[in-house]
Amino acid sequence: MLQASSMQLVTIAFSHYNEKARWGLDRFGVVYRERACLPLLHFPVVMWTTRFRGGRSDRVSTRWSTPVLITDEGERLCDSSAIVRYADDRHGDEASTLYPREHRAEIEALEQRLHDRMGAHSRRVAYFHLLPERALIAALARNNVGSFQAAVFVRGLPLWSRVLRRALGIDRARAEASAAKLRQEVAQLDERIGDRLGEGGYLVGDRFSAADLTLACMLAPALLPSQDEGYSAYLGRVDELPPAARALVEEMRQTRIGQHALRMFAEERRRSPP
């Protein structure tokens, strides 16, 4: 049988869906090798790794999306939630599980809602502001993947940028609508559970769960947590953002939901083994 260290995780390195998978694996000490890609350059790697079978497309991604985990038993998991659940089923126990039995249904419902409603909107807003900023995209590439891949991406930026805009529906009108949906989602969550979050509370029940992990990741493109703050890839620096993006990030960081997400990175992400 193959060793645990032969597990392979194909990622778009800076993506929040991929951070979710890494967090789930790291939390339970699962050893894996990451093949970090940049958007669009991930296609051949995912095709090859899945032997052209891919996963399933969903509301926010194609069937060739990342993360993809190839387990030590050759199983292919092509979805971030499935990867977190895999790590949890395999290594979690009653004390460490991210899906405590008594709250499982509520946690899974929240996980799905955040995936669908928050993840795609925070991504669109982030791309809308970053794609015109060649220097920021170059830094994103160079700080997350090897120099050859980064150079290919930066060289082809006008082309990748056009393809990404079309594929993800990135234009001013839709980015503004996404920012509004993000604010609305944050406000609704705040109304529902904001009071519980101060003083060290959690989204569901009284301990850290997959709901907190998912919220932190799905909101990350609008919070831009640094590696010192706990995010495991480079997302860029808040003080280098163009003014409109910086204002949104600062606004999101000040909400109770944003504060909670940052606290989860600080307290729960950094504790995980590298």
Ligand X SMILES: N[C@@H](CCC(=O)N[C@@H](CS)C(=O)NCC(=O)O)C(=O)O
Residues that bind ligand X (CB under 6 A): 12, 15, 17, 42, 58, 60-62, 64-67, 79-81, 115, 123
Nearest distance from C-beta of residue 199 to ligand X, angstroms: 31
Residues paired with 8 in a beta bridge: 33, 70
Nearest distance from C-beta of residue 201 to ligand X, angstroms: 26
**Residues, the chain:** 274
Rounded to whole angstroms, the Cα distance separating 147 from 141 reads 8
Rounded to whole angstroms, the Cα distance separating 55 from 75 reads 12
Nearest distance from C-beta of residue 42 to ligand X, angstroms: 6
In the complex with ligand X, the residue whose CB is nearer, 124 or 260, is 124
In the complex with ligand X, the residue whose CB is nearer, 27 or 42, is 42
In the complex with ligand X, the residue whose CB is nearer, 81 or 149, is 81
Rounded to whole angstroms, the Cα distance separating 266 from 248 reads 21
Nearest distance from C-beta of residue 191 to ligand X, angstroms: 26
In the complex with ligand X, the residue whose CB is nearer, 1 or 52, is 52
Strand 33-37 with 8-12, pairing: parallel
CB 78 within 8 A of CB 56: yes
In the complex with ligand X, the residue whose CB is nearer, 64 or 86, is 64
Nearest distance from C-beta of residue 82 to ligand X, angstroms: 8
Nearest distance from C-beta of residue 117 to ligand X, angstroms: 13
In the complex with ligand X, the residue whose CB is nearer, 69 or 197, is 69
- Ranges of H-type helices in the chain: 16-27, 42-49, 80-91, 104-113, 120-130, 134-142, 147-155, 157-168, 172-197, 210-219, 243-254, 256-264
Strand 8-12 with 68-70, pairing: antiparallel
